[in-house]
Structure 1
């Protein structure tokens, strides 16, 4: 029996195959292994928090069979990969685990989707609808990668390519001292207001499901002193991943007061975009906070905002 492997590359590619190569694959009535490549959006991350290009991930791959795609039916099989896919992979060979094969009937297609959810606890599959998954996400620190559908059959067994993309907006913060700030001012907390965080998805529609959060506290802020950071903003707290949205409001608490409904405006975008990581730099002055947002990691961009 012939065995084939997958190839993970930095960008999605479709490998060509000659007619003679296809004939060699499908002759002798041997089972034909499904061949894939996996690519990721530039500068992708993986961990419980966002997924970076220096890290790696093992996706879940689902397969359906039929003349046409029926994603609202339970998949025929589910697999992962024997080795993780690097965020900056280039021609990195991987194999599906378990190895899956096309249907022996060349008229029956195999349709495939793949996803990854960061975190130590794997997403839970619905017992009756095996294309629906849910996951715990109280703190908004779980990232989601998703690859849209690809398909093939025994007679068209060229390498099929997944391209994984971010579905969420990443938010992280930094603080900077402005004019007239009181001495020894410390940051107590930053809270996002009225945001949505993912808690599952439906592969029949490729849609994330969200839970509304009236407040989402940024974790990992240990009362840093804002004074002294006059040139380079000090990065604070842990990143969060939220649904893209048009208007982000904050509540910021320092040792000298509380600032509510702090607005963040992004220069380059009409709204916070999926697949972008926004760093919001807050400049603290005597009576106001000035916010400036830049975009990094996933895609670059700039923005600004002020609060009085």
Structure 2
């Protein structure tokens, strides 16, 4: 379960090491201390966030002299850029620098998420129709002007979805020149936003689309000939974790259509922060599936389809 607590695999730790805007103590800045974060990186398109991935996250701040409830809209919001690293926090840059309150008794509470999307009130929304969005959230980080240099302020992002990857290979008796046309995952939900009023551990902190069939993107009909050597099929997709360890797929080749096939994975549920590799082996009597877990959190699994 390496890195599960910090990052649920290959999510990014972000060092929040603030320094004073005015090191000489000149009060011309109103006594505020900047929340400042290192050097910058570029952004990336929608895709799984893996170790070394450069990405942009949204971040928002609330101020309170007591415990923050997050019921109201944040005082400020902007974006930060960083690089995912499963081992240690990475420096980031602010799109717009933010400051701790000049009052030493006022705490700034910060929440961060990816993709940055659009924030309205306490709701973040983003477009996602093909399962390509890797939804990340970080636990709350807080501080004051007095604790601006505390090295323990780390944004430990965690994957909130399960990742599904498919591979295909030919088994005994498969007709020569059989080609793949499509793979469809049945009745899945895709992340479309975040509810910032919720705790990061809440099931409804991520908002999802209505359950629907998802055609795996990146598969061009008849472009892949199914051979003895396993080949990737389509792009990875990120879906809402599933209560239970099974999900259903339809598969179409140029010779046959296989409907309502069940994939079973090891464990009790299809879990967030876990990447499942599903191998489709095509033979004369049907498809044999084996599911293993790679990249995010290590597990094992298998499935047979008759």
Q: CA deviation at 1:85?
A: 1.0
Q: C-alpha root-mean-square deviation of aligned residues, in Å? A: 2.9
Q: Which of the numbers 146, 149, 164 marks the counterpart of 2:157? A: 164
Superposition TM-score, scaled by structure 1 size:
0.81
**Partner residue of 2:5?**
none
- Residues 255-295 of structure 1: CA distance to partner in whole angstroms, max 9, x if unpaired? 2211111111112x222111111111100010211111111
Name the structure where strand makes up a greater proportion of residues: 1
Superposition TM-score, scaled by structure 2 size:
0.81
Q: Does 1:123 align with 2:124?
A: no
Q: Which of the numbers 118, 125, 130 marks the counterpart of 1:139? A: 130
Is the contact made by 1:12 and 1:37 (CA closer than 8 Å) also made in structure 2?
A: no
**Partner residue of 1:76?**
75
- Residues 120-179 of structure 1: CA distance to partner in whole angstroms, max 9, x if unpaired? xx62222xx2x2011121112111111110111122222421111110111111001111
Q: Does 1:198 align with 2:196?
A: no
- Residues 26-66 of structure 1: CA distance to partner in whole angstroms, max 9, x if unpaired? 9665322225689xxxxxx9631212223201211100001
Cα distance in structure 1, aligned partners of 2:293 and 2:126: 27
**Partner residue of 1:4?**
none
Q: Following superposition of structure 1 onto structure 2, how do residues 32-43 of structure 1 map, counting pairs within 5 Å? A: 32-34=33-35
**Mind listing any 5+ residue stretches in structure 1 that lack a counterpart?**
1-8, 39-44
- Matched pairs, number: 277
Cα distance in structure 2, aligned partners of 1:47 and 1:175: 26
**Partner residue of 2:139?**
148
Q: Which of the numbers 285, 288, 295 marks the counterpart of 2:286? A: 288
64 and 26 in structure 1: CA distance in 2 versus 1, 3 angstrom threshold? farther
**Partner residue of 1:42?**
none
233 and 214 in structure 1: CA distance in 2 versus 1, 3 angstrom threshold? same
Q: Does 1:56 align with 2:49?
A: no
Cα distance in structure 1, aligned partners of 2:285 and 2:251: 13
- Residues 191-250 of structure 1: CA distance to partner in whole angstroms, max 9, x if unpaired? 00011111111111140111123311012212244443x2x4110111111001122100
Q: CA deviation at 1:93?
A: 3.5
Three-state SS of the structure 2 residue aligned to 1:80 is strand
